[in-house]
Amino acid sequence: MIPGAWICLLSPLAGALAITLAGTRLSRRGAAYLSTLSCFVAFGGALASFAGSLGEKPHERHHLSTAWTWIQGGSYKSGLEVLVDPLSVMMMLIVSGVGALIVAYSIGYMDSDDEERRYFAYMSLFVFSMLLLVQGGNLILLLAGWGMVGLSSYLLIGFWHERPSAVAAAKKAFVMNAVGDATMALAFFLTIQKTGTLSFGALNALHGHSGWVVNLVALGLLGGAVAKSAQLPLQTWLPDAMEGPTPVSALIHAATMVTAGVYLIVRTHAAFELAPKVQDLAAGLGAATLLLAGLIALVQVDIKRVIAYSTMSQIGYMFLGAGLGAYANSMFHLMTHAFFKALLFMAAGIVIHALAGEQDMRRMGGMRALMPRTYWAFLVGALALVGVPPFAGFFSKDSILAAAMGHGWYGYILWIAGLVGAFLTGVYTFRMLFMVFWGEPSAFAREHFHTLKRDVPGLALEIPVVVLAVLSVIGGWLQFAPTWHPVATWLDTVAAPLVSPTNWQEAVSSVLAVVLGLAGIGLAWLLYAAPRRRPIPRTAFWQRTLEHKFYFDELYDTLFYVPSSFVARALGFVVERPLILGGSTELGTETREVGGLFARLQTGLLRTYALAIASSLAVLAIVFVAVKCRPF
């Protein structure tokens, strides 16, 4: 089991290194196969760990395996260690499994790109980073994986680096993630100071420290989680990140990176439970984000951005769950979300690929007739997303909503937000589906469409989609809250839930959520697909606000970028110029002037010199005599 975990972690790294060092000696397709192989080997390792863990008793499922001491400063030290416990095994399976499928899909998607090798090296590096994050045995390794994931996402988002927009989006993602890294680091410093270590147990050891210490630590952790998962207020990088290739969006922004924040909260739940206000804040941010993202998704015209905002929204649900203490439910939703969101991205990718790179939904239409199988896959994903039974989303989302009911008046507000979110989900998801797939094929589509060929790339595009579609259907059957909950039992030893909704609460939430979801679908049908379409209600103010994503980009620009740019330039003029030029040249001129003063003594006139000599001699003589003879 331990070797399985190490293989899982190191196999993608080995793949990335091999591709980098082989360079052009490896063919492009070869690099693709190598990368996919490394990810499948990782999945194999994860399965081995899982099998090993299954065979153990629940309270034994906690193994730390250390390779060597990584960092040491006096009495503090942390090692390179890998943790195998139920939570990490679950994440390992999700990351390596869905990751392997997406990398396989990339074989087809990136087939025509010249820089394929670089792409696959980066993808393997990303999978490694994410696995390091979830397998890291102490907080500093978690932070290491955290940062490496941010780095790999920078490399992948900015993959097409001739495009200035892609480069800018990559930088934005990295910098916002760096802000999260910084807050996490501060939380860690505080933890080291109070407990002397950064093992996961250190957070338990914070028990007994004063309120503000625990709150600060939890707040720092929350800051990191918010940045990585693109929640309010650090959410602006996610939509821009769609500049990367579609498989990148599938991997990073559906299945893995953005879910890291949820994983963090569940892993460090001890700290959050000691700081309940911060935990409530997490739930609140999740709820706010899910509403915000749902609203913005209503006006997006780029197919990938709709899916991106829906990711933001769904992660809001997971934050909501984690913030309420329903850890297992959030993790379950994380798993099902990975399936259907990756599916949606990949299906959208097939559409984009077939239409020669076009992403604007207004130019698409009637793709149902042209690409029936893709349509069915997309439909499965959409239904799972909205949470229609018996698809996956239904089982996972509703149990989170039910957990909100037991949390007092604050919980009810969150519950209502969640339900509104379910309605919005129905609307925007099916708006997208209807705009792209229903109706008559648009002129553009007819002109540019080309079918998938039956070769390796074509198959590579299809098979993962099929697998994920199947998983989106049956994945939810892993847990049906009232009666059968293996997921909750599995995670019980790691993160015991704070709240257990009653059957009654579960039933009410489920029914309401499904009804609202279907209502959303109905509204979308009325507006976008019905034979006599109602006109879309618009107000100029809301249209503008939603299109500008609630002006967050502009706000951050004014708050941070413009002032720092200004300050940097101002410092350059006001402080640096004088320091560099002023100080030293002034020193030179001053010295010259003093020298000039002394030079005035050299008049060139004979009598000045004579006077000087004579008077000095006279003085010396008098002094000599006075000292020698001591007349006084």
Partner 1 sequence: MPTLLICLPLGAALVIWALPLNRVSAGSLAVLAALAEVGVWIQMLARFHFSRGGLQFPGHRNWFRDLHVSYHVGVYAFSVWLVGLTVVVMAACIAYAFWAGRDRTRAYFGLMLFLDAAIVGVFVAQDLLLFYAFFEAMLIPLYVLVGVWGGPGRIAATLKFVIYTMAGSLLMLAAVIVYGLQKGTFDLTTIGTSGSNWLFLGFAAAFAIKAPLFPLHGWLPDAYRESPPEVAAVLSGIVSKAATYGFLRIAIVKFPGPTHVLRTPILVLAAIGLVYGSLLAFRAPDLRGVVAYSSLAQMGLITFGVFAVNDLGLNGAVLQMVNHGLISATLFLLAGMVERRTTTGELTRIGGLARGRPALATMLMTTGIIALAVPLSSAFAGEFLILAGVFRRGWGWAAVGAVAIVLAAMYMLRLISAVLHRETGPSVTDAALDLRPAELGVTVPLVACLLALSAWPAAISGHSFAHHISTRSGWTSYGPMKSP
Partner 2 sequence: MLGPDVAWYLAVAGFLFGTGALGVLLRRNPLIVLLSLEIMLNGGNLALIGYSRHLGRGGGQIFALSVMAVAASEVVVGLGLVVALNRRRVPLDVDRLNSLRG
Residues near partner 2, by CB under 8 A: 598-607, 610-611, 614
Indicate the residue among 70 and 449 with the shorter CB distance to partner 1: 70
| 197 interacts with, out of partner 1, partner 2, none, CB within 5 to 8 A per kind | none
Determine the number of helices (DSSP H) and then strands (DSSP E) in the chain: 29, 2
For residue 233, say if its preceding peptide bond is cis, omega within 30 degrees of 0.
yes
- Nearest approach, Cβ of residue 603 and partner 2 (Å): 6
| 17 interacts with, out of partner 2, partner 1, none, CB within 5 to 8 A per kind | none
Per residue, what are the HEC states of 150-203? HHHHHHHHCCCCCCHHHHHHHHHHHHHHHHHHHHHHHHHHHHHHHHCCCECHHH
Q: Are 67 and 79 a contacting pair, CB within 8 Å?
A: yes
The rounded distance, in Å, linking the Cα atoms of 261 and 280 is 15
Q: Are 61 and 41 a contacting pair, CB within 8 Å?
A: no
| 60 interacts with, out of partner 1, partner 2, none, CB within 5 to 8 A per kind | none
Indicate the residue among 584 and 608 with the shorter CB distance to partner 1: 584
| 603 interacts with, out of partner 2, partner 1, none, CB within 5 to 8 A per kind | partner 2
Indicate the residue among 172 and 431 with the shorter CB distance to partner 1: 172
Tokens of 111: 């087939």
| 490 interacts with, out of partner 1, partner 2, none, CB within 5 to 8 A per kind | none
Strand partners, 69: 79
Backbone dihedral angles phi then psi of residue 78, each to the nearest 5 degrees: -135, 145
- Nearest approach, Cβ of residue 187 and partner 1 (Å): 10
Indicate the residue among 496 and 599 with the shorter CB distance to partner 2: 599
Indicate the residue among 57 and 607 with the shorter CB distance to partner 2: 607
| 541 interacts with, out of partner 2, partner 1, none, CB within 5 to 8 A per kind | none
Helix (H) or strand (E) holding 78: strand 76-84
- Nearest approach, Cβ of residue 612 and partner 2 (Å): 11
Indicate the residue among 236 and 425 with the shorter CB distance to partner 1: 236
- Nearest approach, Cβ of residue 602 and partner 2 (Å): 3
* Residue (of 379, 380, 272, 397) closest to 334 by Cα position: 397
- Nearest approach, Cβ of residue 374 and partner 1 (Å): 33
Taken as a whole, the chain contains a residue count of: 632
For residue 390, say if its preceding peptide bond is cis, omega within 30 degrees of 0.
yes
| 614 interacts with, out of partner 2, partner 1, none, CB within 5 to 8 A per kind | partner 2
Strand partners, 77: 72
Q: 280 Cβ partners below 8 Å, 6+ apart?
A: 323, 410
Indicate the residue among 540 and 597 with the shorter CB distance to partner 2: 597
Residues near partner 1, by CB under 8 A: 20, 23-24, 68-77, 118, 132, 140, 143-148, 150-151, 154, 158, 161-162, 164, 167, 170-171, 174-175, 178-179, 181-183, 185-186, 188-190, 192-193, 564-565, 567-569, 571-572, 575-576, 579-580, 583-584, 587
